[in-house]
Amino acid sequence: MTQQLPQSVLFCCDHNAVRSPMAEGLMKMFYGMDVYVQSVGVKNDLEIDGFSIAVCQEMGVELSRHRSRSFDEMEDWGDDLSSFDLVIALSPASQRRALELTRYFHLDVEYWPILDPTGLGEGREAKLTQFRAARDQIVARLHDRFGPPTQAQV
């Protein structure tokens, strides 16, 4: 069900290293400057995953400069969670954390059950296949939720 684009979206997952950076990058590519987009994790204990970088690069999305951050770091750096119109959780743990942090705000939290591709597949090609599946789930959810991309795709 296509809905109007919010002014700002925060994607979250467990470590801000796989799913949420992919969602952030893909949303920026599809909807450009029409919406402010950021991502965070419940924890920040991993760097961006190389397979996430690779499968997004296939679509022209640059993730190699992404720096992982947690909800706590976001607040420490002065980003106010209440300034986002929509939080999209991509894992059960991030959904719980988002709901906990937003219970005092009038803020929508959605849960998109996106496959966690880490640890799946034997060998590079099998792993890439799993990461592409997660990427493609995110693309489908973005298009379903926000409609066709507003940016010309490369």
Q: In terms of residue numbers, what domain contains 68? A: 8-146
Residue 1 domain-assigned? no
Structure tokens at 26: 């893909």
Residue 152 domain-assigned? no
Residue 153 domain-assigned? no
Burial class (CB in 10 A: 0-12, 13-18, 19+), 105: middle
> Which residue matches tokens 């799946």?
120
Strand order in the sheet with 108-111: 36-41, 8-13, 86-89, 108-111
Residue 154 domain-assigned? no
Residue 113 domain-assigned? yes
Q: Taking Cα atoms as reference points, which of 88, 104, 80 lies closest to residue 39? A: 88
pLDDT digits (tens, 9 = 90+) for 85-114: 999 999 999 999 888 888 877 788 999 999
Integer Rg of the chain from CA: 15
Would you say the pTM of this structure is higher than 0.85?
yes
C-alpha–C-alpha distance, residues 125 and 47, integer Å: 21
> Which residue matches tokens 């296939």?
58
Residue 28 domain-assigned? yes
pLDDT digits (tens, 9 = 90+) for 42-90: 987 778 888 999 999 999 999 998 888 988 888 777 677 778 899 999 9
Number of domains in the chain: 1
What CATH number does residue 136 fall under? Answer: 3.40.50.2300
